[in-house]
């Protein structure tokens, strides 16, 4: 079926609720999400430019659509939902921005089957529970090492830059086989991919570094995912070096930005919700469930953009070919089938089947690594610093949210 353009605003779009919604608090979606859900599991919303899109907040409907081959991730469709004009100029992960000039959106995030299937087939064996578990001791050493530094410095400290930023970067570098001592060459560009003015140059700098690293690894292999891919699919002619650079960029960025914000925002949420941090300190066995509850409550990536390539009927709603769709994880994570306490954080009542890692063919490949890293980070933090507390009231901690990933700008703490 031919997909028509339809880029002009709908005539009645002014009567529709606007989306996305600004957060009032960094570690939970807008309170207005409950109102959007009240309209049903699939409703129409108005985007910043007046165009409309379907907003899917029902978890059952979200899973059906995310598993449907008629849903496309390609941003070139006219009605592909863009949440903010700034995103048109950003080079960031495919779920968070519209990519039109290359970069790593062509790898993993911004592609459809069969290309997406081919890419995931090469990577999935490296992200199994067993393969990831082999990194447990290494991740524990990283977390312990950063907390050693934090404790030696003494309070006050910045939990963001002293712990939440370096731990995920060190973990993903070890996993990929990227020298952490080179971070001065890639840490800045990785951060600047979310800066509309610096994004283009940042992508060139990051890709340039990775190209040189992969070239050197081709002659002098080391240990890590990149080395395994060079020895396997690259040598077999199944994967080009250019595509390997895209893989490396995608995993490096997606594996650090999200984990950093989850550690920082999750800790802030625990400290801001009476009794939660103390309960975790008193019973660290609650950590696995606490991680799932934090992922649900924070809903870091609020939604994914899709376009229907054919007519699709879900839950009695007809979505026509060419329609833009926003699958709302933050909305689905409020559903009674997921949680009994949608507006609260309660680590003693973990959720069932939340959608923080998406679903279907684009289910986050790194979920096993993320869960292992977050579990070790939170458990070690509450065990070693049970009296952790913010230096200033949580409402005074600086943060920002440009409808990509909410991020703290600093996190001063004491103990």
Residue range 238-259: mean pLDDT, rounded:
92
Which of 339, 334, 365 is CA-nearest to residue 352? 339
Cα separation of 399 and 178, whole Å? 29
**pLDDT > 90? residue 109:** no
175-182: average pLDDT = 94
Q: What is the pLDDT of residue 7?
A: 40
Cα 184 to its chain centre, rounded Å, is 23
Per-residue pLDDT of 314-368, as tens digits, reads 989 999 999 999 999 999 999 999 999 999 999 999 999 999 999 998 999 999 9
Determine the Cα–Cα distance for residues 412 and 200; give it in Å rounded to an integer: 32
Q: Which value, in Å, is the radius of gyration of the alpha carbons in the chain?
A: 21
Q: What is the DSSP string of 365-396?
A: TTHHHHHHHHHHHHHHHHHH-TT-EESS-GGG
What is this structure's pTM? 0.92
Q: What is the fold of 13-414? A: Cytochrome p450 (1.10.630)
Q: At 305, which helix (H) or strand (E)?
A: strand 303-308
C-beta neighbour count of 61 within 10 angstroms: 20
CB of 414 closer than 8 Å to CB of 164? no
Tens digit of each residue's pLDDT (9 = 90 or more) over 133-169: 999 999 999 999 999 999 999 999 999 999 999 999 9
Would you tell me how many other CB atoms lie within 10 Å of the CB of residue 165?
24
- For the packed helices 166-176 and 367-384, what is the interaxial angle rounded to 10 degrees? 140
Sequence ranges of the domains in the chain = 13-414
Spatial neighbors of 176 by CB under 8 A, at least 6 apart, are 224, 225, 226, 248, 251, 252
As a whole-number percent, the residues of the chain with pLDDT over 90 amount to: 79
Q: How far is CA 307 from the centre of its chain?
A: 20
The Cα–Cα gap between 329 and 331 comes to 5
Q: Which two tokens stand for residue 12?
A: 């009645």
Q: Are 133 and 375 in contact (CB under 8 A)?
A: no
Residue 44 has pLDDT above 50, yes or no: yes
CA atoms within 13 A on the CB side of 291: 23
* Helix H or strand E encompassing 409: none
- 116-130 pLDDT, tens digit per residue, is 999 999 999 999 999
């Amino acid at each position: 079926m031919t997909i028509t353009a339809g880029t002009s605003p709908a005539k009645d779009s002014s009567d529709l609720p606007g989306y996305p919604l600004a957060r009032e608090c960094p570690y939970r979606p807008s309170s207005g999400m409950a109102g959007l859900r009240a309209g049903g599991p699939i409703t129409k919303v108005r985007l910043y430019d007046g165009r409309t899109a379907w907003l899917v907040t029902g978890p059952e409907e979200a899973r059906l659509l995310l598993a449907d081959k008629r849903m496309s991730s390609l941003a070139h469709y006219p009605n592909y939902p863009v949440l903010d004009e700034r995103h048109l100029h950003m080079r960031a992960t495919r779920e968070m921005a519209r990519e039109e000039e290359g970069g790593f959106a062509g790898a993993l995030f911004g592609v459809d089957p069969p290309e997406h299937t081919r890419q995931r087939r090469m990577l999935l064996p490296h992200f199994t529970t067993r393969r990831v578990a082999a990194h447990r001791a290494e991740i524990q050493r990283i977390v312990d090492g950063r907390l050693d530094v934090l404790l030696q410095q003494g309070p006050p400290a910045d939990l963001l830059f002293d712990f939440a930023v370096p731990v995920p970067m060190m973990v993903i570098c070890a996993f990929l086989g990227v020298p952490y001592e080179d971070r001065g060459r890639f840490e800045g560009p990785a951060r600047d991919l979310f800066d509309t003015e610096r994004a283009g140059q940042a992508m060139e700098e990051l890709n340039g570094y990775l190209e040189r690293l992969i070239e050197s690894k081709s002659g002098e292999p080391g240990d890590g995912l990149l080395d395994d891919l060079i020895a396997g699919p690259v040598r077999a002619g199944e994967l080009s070096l250019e595509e390997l650079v895209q893989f490396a960029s995608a995993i490096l960025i997606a594996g650090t930005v999200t984990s950093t914000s989850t550690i920082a925002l999750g800790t802030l949420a625990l400290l801001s919700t009476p009794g939660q941090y103390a309960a975790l300190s008193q019973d660290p066995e609650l950590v696995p469930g606490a991680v799932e509850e934090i992922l649900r409550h924070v809903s870091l990536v609020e939604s994914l953009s899709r376009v229907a390539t054919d007519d699709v009927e879900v839950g009695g709603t007809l979505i026509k070919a060419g329609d833009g769709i926003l699958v709302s994880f933050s909305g689905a994570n409020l559903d009674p089938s997921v949680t009994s306490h949608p507006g609260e954080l309660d680590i003693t009542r973990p959720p069932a089947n939340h959608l923080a890692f998406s679903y279907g063919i684009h289910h986050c490949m790194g979920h096993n690594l993320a869960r292992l890293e977050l579990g070790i980070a939170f458990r070690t933090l509450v065990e070693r610093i049970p009296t952790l507390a913010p230096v200033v009231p949580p409402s005074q901690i600086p943060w920002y949210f440009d409808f990509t990933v909410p991020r703290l700008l600093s996190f001063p703490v004491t103990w």
